Structure 1
Amino acid sequence: MIYIKRLIFLLFIVSSCQSTGQLKIEARITEELEEVSAAEFSKNSDLTWVIQDAGNTNNLIGLNQNGHIVRNLYITNAKNRDWEDLTSDAHGNIYIGDFGNNNKKRKTFTIYKVNQEDLNAGTATAERIEFTLHKDQKSEDFESFFIFNDSFYIFSKEHKKFVVLKVKNRTGKQVAEVHSKYNLKGKNNKITSADISKDGKTIVLLNHDKLWELSNFKGDDFFSGDIREIEFEHNSQKEGICFKTDSTVVITDERKDFEGGYIYTFNLN
C-alpha cells in the first residue's frame, strides 16, 4: 500500500509539471536526510547547504542540483543540540544556528561559524558565538535568523507576538539584545526560517504554508516598511528558506513518509 501511495504521489508531481501550488519542485532530497531544517547558499558555490534537526549528527551538508550529497562536513567541536537555521556572510562563511528550544528551558545558545576555506574539507573546527538572554527576556524557541551589518537577527517561533534578538558577530560569550517585538496579522504565524537578500533590501520569513516578504524598511527597523503575506497553496513542514537571487528563494521541507523532502524555488515577483 505504501508503495502504491508513493507511486500515485510521484505521478501527480510529474503530471503537475514539477510544481505544487506556487512552488516549483527542483529536486527530491536524498532519503538519507529526513529532517532538513535549513537551507543556505555560500558565495562562489552552487551547492545548497543544509543541516538536520535536533538529535542528528553535527554535519553541514552540501547538496547538488539533484538533491544528492556531495559535501558532508563534520564539525569537530560542535554538538547538534537543536540546529535550526543557516545563514552566510559576504565572505562565504556559513553560520549554524543552534538555538532551538522546544521546552523553553534552555539558558545558553550557540552560533557556529564555519569558515569558507573549510567547506571543501571533510572536517572543520568552527568558531563559537555563544549568547544568553537578558534577565528580563524569558527563554523562547528560536528557529530562524540571518546576518545583517555584521549582526545576527534571531526570531522566536510564536503563534502571535514574537521577539527578535540581536547578537553581534563576535566570537565568545555575550548577552543578546532584545531588538524588537512584532505581531504579524492573521493566524498560524510561527516563523520556521528567515533570510535577507544579498542587496539587503528584502527579508523573507517562512511558515509551513506561506511566507512574509518585508521590504522598504529603514536600517534594521525591519517592520517599518511594507509587509506582504504570500500563500503557497501548499502545506508541508517547511523549515528552510534562502535567497538564490534577489527575487527568487529556495525552500526545503522535512520528509514524512513519502511526502516532503523536496527542494523548491519560489519567485517573489
Structure 2
Amino acid sequence: MFQIQQLIFITLFLSSCDTGKLTVIADLPSTLKEVSATETIPNSDLIWVIEDAGNKNNIYGLNTQGKIIKDIDVSNASNIDWEDLTSDNLGNLYIGDFGNNSKNRDDFTIYKIANPDTDKAIVIAEKINFLLPKDMKSEDFEAFFLFKGYFYVFSKENKTSKLIKVPNQIGKHTAELVTDFNLAGKHHKITSADVSDDGKTIVLLNHDKLWKITNFKGDNFFKGTIEELKFDHDSQKEGICFKDNSTVLITDESDSKLGSNIYSFKLN
C-alpha cells in the first residue's frame, strides 16, 4: 500500500511540475500573490519584483531561492496599477504604473528608484508622468522597456496593439505613437517586455508563449525578425526580464493549480 501511495504522489508531483520547456528556479514568496513584473539590475544578485493594483507600493528584492531579501517602501508613490519593471545600466529601477483595465486613465506614471540595492527600507521616487497622444484613445498598458533614452510602452490587446514611447526625463510628457502592430495568431496580449543588455533582442510575454524579436533597426521593432516561442505551459505569466543575452527569467501569478514561480527559459 505504501508503495502505491508513493507512486501516486510521485506521479502527481511530476504532473504538477510539468512546465513545458520552462525550468523552475524557485517558488515566489507566499506573501506575494500578484507579482506583476520582474527585473534584474547591474551589480545586484537580486531578482526585483512588484505586485499590481490593490497591493503595497513596495518593491521586493528576492534571492535565487525566492526569499525576500529587500522590502522597500516607495513612500511617495501610489500603486494605482503597477504592471512592469525596467532598469538602466546605472542600476536605477523604473516602475511602470500604467495598468488601465477600465480604460479610463489619461495620466500615467513611471517611478524612478535610484539604485534600490542599498540598505534603505524607505525611498522617495522621482516621477516621469505622461499623457497619451492627442488623438489616441485610452489604452491598457502592461509592458515596457528602456531603449536608447526612451521608454517603449506596449498596449495589451488581442487585435491591433499600439507602441508608444516616452523620454527618460523627469517631468511631464506627451507620449509619441511609434506604430500600430499585429502579432500573428490568436491570444497575443502582451503582459511584459524586455530588451537584452546588448540591445539586439526584444522579448514580449504572453501567458503561454513569448515573441523574440531580432534584426531590427532603430525602433522599427516589428520590421525585424519575429519568432513565436511556445512554452507548452499556460499560467498567468506577468513578468519577464533578461538574465543574460540568451536567457530570460519569467514570473507568474498564483492561482489554485499553477503559478507563483520564477522560471528560466532559453531563447536559443
Shift of 1:259: 2.2
Render the CA deviation track for 1:165-215: whole Å, top value 9, x for unaligned.
100000010100011111000000000000000000000000000000000
Q: 1:139 to 1:11 in 2, by over 3 A?
A: farther
Secondary structure, aligned partner of 2:244: coil
Residue 211 of structure 2 aligns with which residue? 212
Q: 1:9 to 1:226 in 2, by over 3 A?
A: farther
RMSD: 1.9
Q: How does 1:84-233 map to 2 (within 5 A)?
A: 84-116=83-115, 119-233=118-232
Q: 1:18, 1:26 within 8 Å by CA — same for their partners in 2? A: no
Shift of 1:257: 2.5
Q: Tell me, which stretches of 5 or more residues in structure 1 are unaligned?
A: 1-6
Q: Distance in 1 between matches of 2:208 and 2:230?
A: 6
Q: Distance in 1 between matches of 2:236 and 2:9?
A: 18
Q: Distance in 2 between matches of 1:245 and 1:14?
A: 30
TM-score (norm 1): 0.94
Shift of 1:8: 11
Q: Tell me, which stretches of 5 or more residues in structure 2 are unaligned?
A: 1-5
| Letter aligned with residue 58 of structure 2 | N
Shift of 1:15: 3.7
Shift of 1:120: 3.1
Secondary structure, aligned partner of 1:223: helix
Q: 1:28, 1:263 within 8 Å by CA — same for their partners in 2? A: yes
TM-score (norm 2): 0.94
Q: 1:37, 1:83 within 8 Å by CA — same for their partners in 2? A: yes
Q: 2:44, 2:117 within 8 Å by CA — same for their partners in 1? A: no
Q: 1:73, 1:119 within 8 Å by CA — same for their partners in 2? A: no
| Letter aligned with residue 207 of structure 2 | H
Q: 1:64 to 1:8 in 2, by over 3 A?
A: farther
Shift of 1:127: 0.4
Secondary structure, aligned partner of 2:262: strand
Residue 44 of structure 2 aligns with which residue? 45
Q: Distance in 2 between matches of 1:149 and 1:38?
A: 21
Residue 60 of structure 2 aligns with which residue? 61
| Letter aligned with residue 20 of structure 2 | G
Percent identity (aligned) = 56
Residue 3 of structure 1 aligns with which residue? none
Q: Distance in 1 between matches of 2:142 and 2:266?
A: 23
Q: Runs in 1 of length 4+ with deviation above 2 angstroms? A: 7-19, 117-120
Shift of 1:11: 4.7
Q: 1:141, 1:157 within 8 Å by CA — same for their partners in 2? A: yes
Secondary structure, aligned partner of 1:131: strand
Q: 2:93, 2:116 within 8 Å by CA — same for their partners in 1? A: no
Shift of 1:134: 1.4
Q: 1:20 to 1:89 in 2, by over 3 A?
A: same
